[in-house]
Amino acid sequence: MTPRLSMRALSVVALTLFASAPLAMLVVTSIARGWFYPSVVPSSVDGGAWAELFRDASHRTALLNSVVLAVSTALVGTALALPLGRAAALSTRGVRRSVALLAFTAVALPPVALGAGLQLSVLTLGLGGTVVGVFLAHLVPALGYLTLVFLGVFTRWDLRLEEAAATLGAGGLERWRHLMLPLLRRPITEALALGFLVSWAQVALTLLVGGGAVRTLPLDVLAMLQAGQDQRAAAGALALAIPALFVLGVSRVAAGNTPAVVA
């Protein structure tokens, strides 16, 4: 092996360890009962924390809430951000800049500051402490991110493709089905994944707008950590990581199958 190759192998091993060690640690902590220094191995191993995670009705509700919120944020966020990003990108410079600025504000504001403002708006709508209220709150940063994504995509968009399709007699719906969607497959899957993750990992907004009444998995994990319940928190953290990794994986595979490349 040449020194350069072994360097590369070493980096790959180091990177793999770096990425997987925290996950491995979580796996062990989630099944270790009464594992204290200086014991090298846990005094006993049990699946109690995992069983609890799925047996406890309030955890199940939290998991369900998290999934519903993340999926709807991804779908609605993408459905709104795509036309918004497109319209802004193809518009005048002024419009483009103001949309970009607004989108960036929603992303850049600290979640706590954003949450405090959203809390009052959502309460005024009479939606405080409801899943719909929390969904609207999650939609704000998600829409910010996704609008920036589509703004970028459509800034480099070649309108002539659409014009050519129209010249050949394709109607609006056909243009979308046969031209736009295939071309936009990669950005759309990425946007869906991003929208999912923005909502999935949200703590501050859920807490402020949900007022404690809307439980999500990240809130449960945080509460368990604060209570010193490390075994349960580790199980919860893994339950939190797995769907996120799954969504990322699926979006990679889906994006990899893109037939054509835009810009």
Structure tokens at 128: 């405080």
Q: How far is the CB of 132 from another protein (least distance, A)?
A: 7
Nearer to another protein, 22 or 34 (CB): 34
Spatial separation of the C-alpha atoms in residues 59 and 71, rounded to whole Å:
18
Nearer to another protein, 176 or 250 (CB): 176
Nearer to another protein, 73 or 231 (CB): 231
Q: Which helix (H) or strand (E) holds 153?
A: helix 131-155
Q: Are 137 and 74 in contact (CB under 8 A)?
A: no
Q: Find the part of the chain contacting another protein (CB under 8 A) among 103-111, 180-188, 223-231, 255-263.
A: 223-231
Q: Which helix (H) or strand (E) holds 44?
A: strand 44-45
Residue 123 interacts with another protein (CB under 8 A): yes or no: yes
Q: Are strands 44-45 and 32-33 parallel, antiparallel or unpaired?
A: antiparallel
Q: How far is the CB of 44 from another protein (least distance, A)?
A: 8
Which of 228, 256, 257, 259 is in the footprint of another protein by CB under 8 A? 228
Spatial separation of the C-alpha atoms in residues 183 and 2, rounded to whole Å:
42
Residue 227 interacts with another protein (CB under 8 A): yes or no: yes
Spatial separation of the C-alpha atoms in residues 216 and 190, rounded to whole Å:
23
Task: Respond yes or no on whether the N-terminal peptide bond of residue 141 is cis (omega within 30° of 0).
Answer: no
Residue 94 interacts with another protein (CB under 8 A): yes or no: no
Q: How far is the CB of 120 from another protein (least distance, A)?
A: 6
Q: Are 193 and 248 in contact (CB under 8 A)?
A: yes
Site of tokens 């493709």: 161
Nearer to another protein, 76 or 197 (CB): 76
Among positions 128-147, residues that touch another protein (CB under 8 A) are 128-129, 132, 136
Residue 204 interacts with another protein (CB under 8 A): yes or no: no
Which of 26, 31, 74, 84 is in the footprint of another protein by CB under 8 A? 84
Which of 23, 28, 52, 258 is in the footprint of another protein by CB under 8 A? 52
Q: Find the part of the chain contacting another protein (CB under 8 A) among 1-9, 117-125, 172-180, 253-261.
A: 117-125
Q: Are 191 and 198 in contact (CB under 8 A)?
A: no
Q: Output DSSP code: residue 203.
A: -
Site of tokens 């109607």: 171
Site of tokens 């070649």: 158
Which of 1, 2, 4, 37 is in the footprint of another protein by CB under 8 A? 37
Q: Report the SS3 class of residue 118.
A: helix
Residues that bind another protein (CB under 8 A): 33-34, 36-38, 44, 52, 56-58, 80, 83-84, 86-88, 90-91, 95, 119-120, 123-129, 132, 136, 211-213, 215, 219, 223-232
